[in-house]
Amino acid sequence: MTVSDHIRDKLAQVPHQPGVYLMKDRLGTVIYVGKARDLRRRVSQYFQPSRRRGWDPKFNTLVEAIADFDWHRVRSEAEAVLLEGRLIKEFRPRYNISFRDDKRFLLVKVNLNDPIPRFTLTRLQNDPAARYFGPFASSGALRRTLSLVRQKFNLRGCRALTPTEADYRHCLYAHLRVCTAPCIGNVTPEQYRLQVQAACDFLAGRCEEMAAELEAQMKQAAAALNFEKAAELRDLLRDLRRTTQRTEKFERLPYSLPLAVNPEAELRALAEALGLPAPPARIEGFDISNISGTLKVASLVSFWQGRPDRAHYRRFRIKTVAGQDDFACMAEVIRRRYRRLLSELAGGGTGTPRGEETDAGRASPADLQRVIHDVRARLNGRPARADTDAAAVGPRPPTGARLPDLILIDGGKGQVNAARAELEKLGLGTLPVIGLAKEFEEIHRAGETAPLRLGLDHPAIKLLQRIRDEAHRVANSYNARLRLRKISESVLDEFPGIGQARKAALLKRFGSVQRLRRATVAEIAAVPGFGGETAARFKAFLDARFAAPEPAPAR
């Protein structure tokens, strides 16, 4: 395999440190995420002749698809595991198999406000009053260390939220004198809470004394030729250090991690191809999704400096269009989006909450006219008013409301013209609007007859494809979610006399129609709004509705 000069130069910059690496194709899409103890050595293996390539078709195909790569350094191998899982869930690369589900790494949870606090394992941080430790890359090391902590600090291991004397009679921890048994008053709740606090300090990393003690015991066992005991202490010491090592949580994707091969160059190329005065810092992309004119939805994705800005994503449910009319749907979405945005700019708002866009506004017509005047001045190259001037271009996206520098429509000339007409009604006719048609990746511009063809390898096309594909993904996922919800709830609508309140109560109690089917008459009758007779009729309705069809007679 011939290695390009770009990849060869980049390999020379990769450090000999732990971290994660992201392999990308020619469009800048992440196709594989991996971790490494030594980044330079691991990444270089992909671009060297290997015996493995002769018999592993998956690896061979991956190597042939690699056009570029990125890396991100971390402090330890455990952090590399955590970040790898986070990135795989974020990008869902086609060549990764592990970590693609919604499973998370383990956390240790303790709530000091409980009467008798206990340490439990969880994967979600859904209790704001609790204290969490982790996440931990190795679940086995965590469980063994937690067992050591319970023995060291005499903590309880029972599951009861508030154990009683009845629980004590069956408690193995108390009878082995591992637990101080606060449930029967051996220690006061205040004394036991001090034990828990000491264990919290231990899990937070203050374990030097115990580590030194285990290491001394290990050396003593080895000197006495008790190698089995020494190996046991060695493994315990290793688990202790792995668990209490400080790691970064990676709650959010590191923003410094580039998501494209060279987004700055792509933005410059896009500005040059479209004749824009400067590279567009904020690009907003739109897409429509529907199935035969039903459940019509739209998506808005926002890119800042060539990278996704998910805090400004929006989803729309089409409200005024009957039937299947993509042009009218696009017009409605553009109208609602920029009418609301102008209102926010005039009223000093900071944007709507992430989710479905609404039409509520706070600004008066005079305020809107003032904002439109300032926007026109900025687009024509004149300085705008200080209070509505765009945020300065920087490495992080601005949090406030801001008009885009470019609008991208998923579609051809019809969708672009529909969007342009709505923008002109709002006084934003000078905002650049383009459409990207899928068949030949042609760029359609308002007022231009012939489309612009730059070629599939052009940096501007790669950027527009990423924005278009992201808008398509968001719209389709929203449509699928609404469709699944409608299918589930439509079955309940068929039952005579059921209203929105009863239906909501059923779904809140059982979660889904599938669980409702398995419920008994007594369980259904316990739902507010259902009596015994109604519950029995509803159960019979579900049994008949989901009864297996009779087999066709043999011919």
Q: Alpha-carbon distance 247 to 234, whole Å?
A: 22
Q: Which residues does residue 231 pair with via DSSP β-bridges, in sequence order?
A: none
Over 60: is that where the pLDDT of 110 sits?
A: yes
HEC per residue, 464-516: HHHHHHHHHHHHHHHHHHHHHHHHHHHHHHCCCCCCHHHHHHHHHHHCCHHHH
| Closest to 17 (Cα-Cα) out of 68, 76, 70 | 76
Query: Confidence band (pLDDT; 50, 70, 90) for 119?
Result: confident
Question: Cα 550 from chain centroid?
Answer: 44
- 494-545: same fold as 5-91? no
Top-confidence residue, 75 or 428: 428
DSSP 43-57: HHGGGS--GGGGT-H
Output the CA torsion 545→546→549→550 (10° steps). Answer: -80
Going from N- to C-terminal start, the domains of the chain cover 5-91, 106-244, 263-475, 494-545
Secondary structure letter of residue 452 according to DSSP: B
CB 66 within 8 A of CB 229: no
Pairwise CA distance, residues 118 & 195, whole Å: 11
For the question of whether the overall pTM of this predicted structure is more than 0.85, the answer is no
Q: Using CA atoms, how far apart are residues 326 and 80, in angstroms rounded to an integer?
A: 45
Mean pLDDT, residues 348-374 taken together: 51
pLDDT tens readout for residues 388-434: 333 334 456 777 788 999 999 998 999 999 999 999 999 998 899 99
In this prediction, residue 489 carries a pLDDT of 54
CATH 3.30.420.340 fits 263-475, yes or no: yes
Burial class (CB in 10 A: 0-12, 13-18, 19+), 531: exposed
At 14 the three-state DSSP class reads: coil
Q: Pick 494-545's CATH classification: 1.10.3210.10, 1.10.150.20, 3.40.50.2300, 3.40.640.10.
A: 1.10.150.20
> Residues 186, 116: contact at Cβ < 8 Å?
no
> What is the tens place of the pLDDT at every residue in 538-550?
888 777 766 544 4
pLDDT at 336: 94
Contact 65, 15 (CB under 8 A): no
pLDDT at 102 over 60: no
| pLDDT above 80: residue 249 | no
> In the CATH hierarchy, which fold is given to the domain comprising 5-91?
GIY-YIG endonuclease (3.40.1440)
Mean pLDDT for 172-195 is: 74
CA-based angle 314:380:305, to the nearest 5?
A: 40
Ordered alpha helix ranges (H), 126-178: 139-153, 165-168, 172-175
Instruction: Give the Å distances, CA to CA, from 192 to 153, 174, 196, 197.
Output: 10, 14, 6, 9
Residue 260 has pLDDT above 80, yes or no: no
Tokens standing for 257? Answer: 């991690």
Say how far apart CA 555 and CA 474 lie, in whole Å: 49
What pLDDT score was predicted for residue 333? 94
Report residue 256's pLDDT band, with 50, 70 and 90 as the boundaries: very low
Angle, in degrees to the nearest 10, between helices 227-244 and 208-223: 160
- Cα distance between the two ends of the chain: 61
